[in-house]
């Protein structure tokens, strides 16, 4: 899973068909060229299943992984940051791999927390080092996030049974949160390295 990356982000959803492949694609595109790798998996992957075509249509300019991957304890233990789509999934992955308890968050929760950490300043410059610092500091700011009022809902709804408009809305929520996370990881370099918004992402947000 780690390959040549110094740090690995693992993105999870139920079947690795809709939400987590979308978040993986956005994060991987924006963090390309850094020492941060991104993979995704599902809690209950169905044999022979494929990534939902609606995810591909929402993100036509991004490389969306074709084959869902089943979550294993080793995947969770080996990840430096675990991002789930719901609080229930966060609890489930911590139950599967208790050692990841302090580095497991929902995608939207971590987007909020990363922005709070960044606002406090004093982060390293290199993306991998920034990510490590964000993950280390984020749990300490959970209370502050609640006190300030979360900027984003904790859960990202499963869009599998939604109509096209509902599906597009979920994709837009994922794109926004993943872009916020990657922006915090990139820091000042975001304006030159990955501030570009692929045309597919722009259409999903509409």
> pLDDT of the chain along its 206 residues, tens only?
555 679 999 999 999 999 999 999 999 999 999 999 999 999 999 999 999 999 999 999 999 987 999 999 999 999 999 999 999 999 999 999 999 999 999 999 999 999 999 998 889 999 999 999 999 999 999 999 999 888 999 999 999 999 999 999 999 999 999 999 999 999 965 543 443 344 344 433 33
Cβ-contact 38, 6 below 8 angstroms = no
Does residue 83 belong to any structural domain of this protein? yes
**Contact status, residue 137 vs residue 145, Cβ threshold 8 Å:** no
CA atoms within 13 A on the CB side of 140: 7
In sequence order, the 6+-apart residues with CB closer than 8 A to the CB of 98 are none
CB 130 within 8 A of CB 138: no
Rounded to whole angstroms, how far apart are CA atoms 88 and 27?
A: 22
Vertex 81 angle, CA 48 and 73, to 5° = 50
Range of the domain at 80: 7-193
205's tokens = 């947000």
Q: Note the pLDDT tens digit of each residue in 93-151.
A: 999 999 999 999 999 999 999 999 999 888 999 999 999 999 999 999 999 999 988 89
Q: What is the reported pTM?
A: 0.90
User: Is there a domain that residue 26 lies in?
Assistant: yes
> Would residue 110 count as lying in a domain?
yes
- Domain count for the chain, please give it: 1
Query: Is 179 domain-assigned?
Result: yes
Residue 202 lies in a domain: no
The reply to whether 201 falls in a domain is no
What is the SS3 string spanning the chain? CCCCCCEEEEEEECCCCCHHHHHHHHHHHHCCCCCEEEEEEECCCCCCCCCCHHHHHHCCCCCCCCCCCECCHHHHHHCCEEEECCHHHHHHHHHHCHHHHHHEEEHHHHHHHHHHHHHHCCCCCCHHHHHHHHHHHHHHHHHHHHHHCCCCCCCCCCCCCCCHHHHHHHHHHHHHHHHHHHHHHHHHHHHHHCCCCCHHHHHHCC
Asked if residue 17 belongs to a domain, the reply is yes
- Residue 78 CB neighbour total at 10 angstroms: 15
CATH number of the domain at 97, please. Answer: 3.40.50.2300
Residue 199 is assigned to a structural domain of this protein? no
């Amino acid at each position: 899973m780690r390959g040549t990356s110094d740090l690995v982000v693992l993105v999870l959803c139920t079947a690795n068909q809709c939400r987590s492949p979308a978040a993986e694609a956005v994060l991987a595109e924006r963090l390309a060229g850094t020492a941060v790798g991104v993979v995704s998996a599902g809690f209950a992957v169905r044999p022979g299943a494929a990534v939902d075509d609606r995810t591909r249509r929402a993100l036509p300019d991004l490389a969306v992984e074709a084959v869902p991957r089943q979550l294993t304890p080793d995947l969770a233990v080996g990840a430096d940051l675990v991002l789930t789509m719901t609080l229930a999934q966060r609890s489930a992955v911590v139950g599967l791999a208790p050692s990841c308890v302090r580095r497991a968050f929902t995608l939207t929760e971590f987007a909020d927390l990363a922005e709070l950490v960044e606002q406090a300043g004093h982060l390293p410059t290199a993306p991998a080092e920034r990510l490590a610092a964000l993950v280390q500091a984020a749990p300490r700011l959970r209370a502050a996030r609640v006190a300030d009022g979360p900027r984003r809902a904790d859960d990202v709804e499963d869009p599998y049974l939604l109509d096209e408009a509902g599906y597009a809305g979920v994709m837009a929520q994922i794109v926004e949160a993943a872009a916020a996370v990657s922006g915090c990881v990139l820091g000042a370099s975001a304006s030159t390295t990955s501030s570009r918004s692929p045309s597919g992402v722009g259409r999903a947000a509409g």
